[in-house]
């Protein structure tokens, strides 16, 4: 059932990509035919190449901006990757020792590795200060 849904999803994505390609080719041909009477065949090809370059540049900028992670507010909890990176930056020797120990434990008994990862991911709450 899942495999069938995956195949239909891939077929739909392929059909969408092919139809987008046909649309772009038709649009390029229409632009070429529109500009050709004014600047000739070579000029129309140049105009088409320039407009395509501008389109690709704008699309590249949009995709580059879409790939940036969102800014976090100071009070938001960090992701696991952020916590790992911060820990390694703050305590590189401890992180190296922990990595070696985790490697040895993983070789000896892989079940321990799951417990270590789970303990790191769950973490613990910050200690509360002051009286309530």
Question: How far apart, in whole angstroms, are the C-alpha atoms of residue 41 and residue 54?
Answer: 20
Tokens of 108: 């000896």
At residue 46, the pLDDT reads 92
Could you give the CA distance from residue 112 to residue 118 in angstroms, rounded to a whole number? 10
56: its two tokens: 């690709």
- DSSP string covering 33-59: HHHHHHHHHHHHHHHHHHHHHHHHHHH
Q: 18 is written with which tokens? A: 């092919």
Task: Identify the pLDDT of residue 109.
Answer: 79
**Cβ contacts of 28-37, under 8 Å, gap ≥ 24:** 28/52
Per DSSP, 1 falls in state -
Q: State pLDDT tens for residues 8-40.
A: 888 888 998 899 889 989 999 999 999 999 999
* 60: number of Cβ within 10 Å: 10
For residues 90 and 112, which has the higher predicted lDDT (pLDDT)?
Answer: 90
Q: What's the pLDDT score for residue 116?
A: 65
User: What SS3 class is residue 73?
Assistant: coil
Check pLDDT > 70 for residue 93. Answer: yes
The predicted-structure confidence for 45-89, as pLDDT tens digits, reads as follows 999 999 989 988 898 888 888 777 667 677 665 677 777 788 888
pLDDT (average), residues 100-115: 76
- Return the pLDDT at 77: 59
């Amino acid at each position: 059932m899942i495999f069938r849904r995956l195949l239909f999803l891939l077929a739909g994505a392929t059909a969408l990509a092919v139809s987008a390609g046909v649309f772009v080719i038709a649009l390029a041909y229409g632009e070429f035919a529109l500009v050709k009477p004014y600047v000739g065949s070579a000029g129309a090809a140049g105009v088409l190449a320039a407009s395509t370059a501008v389109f690709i540049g704008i699309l590249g900028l949009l995709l580059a901006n879409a790939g940036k992670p969102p800014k976090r507010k100071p009070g938001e909890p960090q992701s696991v990757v952020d916590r790992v990176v911060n820990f390694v930056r703050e305590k590189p020797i401890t992180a190296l020792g922990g990595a070696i120990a985790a490697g040895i434990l993983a070789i000896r008994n892989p079940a321990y590795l799951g417990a270590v990862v789970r303990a790191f991911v769950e973490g613990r709450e910050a200690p509360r200060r002051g009286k309530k």
